[in-house]
Every structure is written in structure tokens, then in C-alpha cells.
Amino acid sequence: MVIYSNLSDQELAGLLRSQSDQRAFSELYTRYKGVLHGHAYKKLGNLEEARDLIQELFSALWNKRDALPDTHNLSGYLYTTLRNRILDFVAHRQVEHKYLKSLQHFITEANFITDRQVRERELTRLIEDAVNELPPKMREVFLMSRNTGKSHKEIAEELNISESTVKNHVKAALKVLRTKLGLFAYILFLLK
């Protein structure tokens, strides 16, 4: 009867590779799981993540047992394999972190833009409604002064009215809008 705990790493690896010996695998697992787990924990700082990596390492070792290299330094092979898994895991975690950060920024920015767009549309609608409620001549003069960039004198000449009438219409329209829209909307309208 073979006492597996007395066998060398190289002999256990040979039995695992050539005969798929489960007891050889169990002995290797027992020998190395603790030290590999400690090493992984030191690198990752998380017991669960370290435990998962060790489990994945030994699962891969079993699944690829027939391709296990014939090495004189099995512990070095296991440490190197673990190191590579840790590096892959950390790189993947960094990519996830960047992605989540980017996604959060996108969501925040999209909500901000959408909220601002909704408020702008609502304000625009309120302003248009208030302007449409102005008396026809006052509305015409006011819209010409705001939308065409013409001076009061040019508007007066075009509409065949006095320049003071144009000024009065604009002044009265602004007063009505200020009252209907409130100071905040009025200031936003003027800045538009």
C-alpha cells in the first residue's frame, strides 16, 4: 500500500499525470492549499477571492492533469500559476472598476442632461405660452425685437409706428412676462 504523504511532489505529479490518481491529487491539494491561500490572500487582501482562486487553480490542475509539465519544482509551478491567476484577476477587477465608473458617470451625466433638457423644454413652452397671450400688436413688436435683432427704430419704420410705441410695447411685454413667468424664468429668458 502506497503512503501518499511519503511521496515527493514529483512522484505525486507523475501519478496524477499518468494515472489520474485522485489520492495523489488530494495529497498535493492538502500540501499546498494552505500556503497558496496565504500567498493569494497577501496579494489580494480578500479571503473569499483568495479561496476562489485556489479552488480554480486546483480545478484546472485536475482538469489538465494529463498536460501537467514534468517539473522538478512543482511548488514553483503552482506559485507561478497562482501568480498569473492573481495578475489576471487584478487586471480584470481594474477593468470592471473602470467600466463601472464610466457607466456611473454616463448614467449621472445622462440624468443631468435629460433633466436639464426637460426643464429647458418646459421653460420654453411656458415662455411661448406667455408670449402667445400678449395682445397681437405687442406680441408682433416684442417678437421682432427679440428674434430679428432689429433696433427699435428699424421695427418702427417697418411697422409704420413711432419708435416710442415700439419701446412701450417691448417694455409692457417684458413686464407681463416677468409677472407671468416669475423672476427666475424671466432672467433665463433674457439670457437666452
Question: Are 122 and 181 spatial neighbours (Cβ–Cβ below 8 Å)?
Answer: no
Sign of the alpha-carbon dihedral angle for 46, 50, 52, 53: positive
Higher pLDDT, 41 or 132: 41
Rg of the chain in Å (alpha carbons):
39
The rounded distance, in Å, linking the Cα atoms of 70 and 14 is: 7
| pLDDT tens string 170-187 | 888 888 877 777 755 555
Mean pLDDT of the chain: 84
Q: Which of 23, 24, 53, 21 is nearest to 37 (CA)?
A: 53
| Confidence band, pLDDT 50/70/90 cuts, at residue 115 | low
- Confidence (pLDDT) at 110: 62
Higher pLDDT, 143 or 36: 36
Query: Where is mean pLDDT largest: 27-41, 159-173, 175-189?
Result: 27-41
State mean pLDDT over 7-18. Answer: 89
Q: Which of 24, 23, 89, 21 is nearest to 55 (CA)?
A: 89
Which DSSP symbol is given to 134?
S
Say yes or no to pLDDT of 40 above 80: yes
- Confidence (pLDDT) at 129: 81
Question: Are 54 and 33 spatial neighbours (Cβ–Cβ below 8 Å)?
Answer: yes
End-to-end CA distance of the chain: 92
The rounded distance, in Å, linking the Cα atoms of 165 and 144 is: 14
| pLDDT tens string 127-138 | 788 888 888 888
State mean pLDDT over 46-73. Answer: 90
The rounded distance, in Å, linking the Cα atoms of 10 and 78 is: 13
What single-letter amino acid sits at 30?
T
The rounded distance, in Å, linking the Cα atoms of 100 and 98 is: 6
Higher pLDDT, 118 or 80: 80
Higher pLDDT, 148 or 14: 14
Say yes or no to pLDDT of 71 above 70: yes
State the pTM of this model: 0.51
The rounded distance, in Å, linking the Cα atoms of 190 and 157 is: 25
| pLDDT tens string 81-97 | 999 999 998 888 888 78
| Confidence band, pLDDT 50/70/90 cuts, at residue 113 | low
Say yes or no to pLDDT of 114 above 80: no
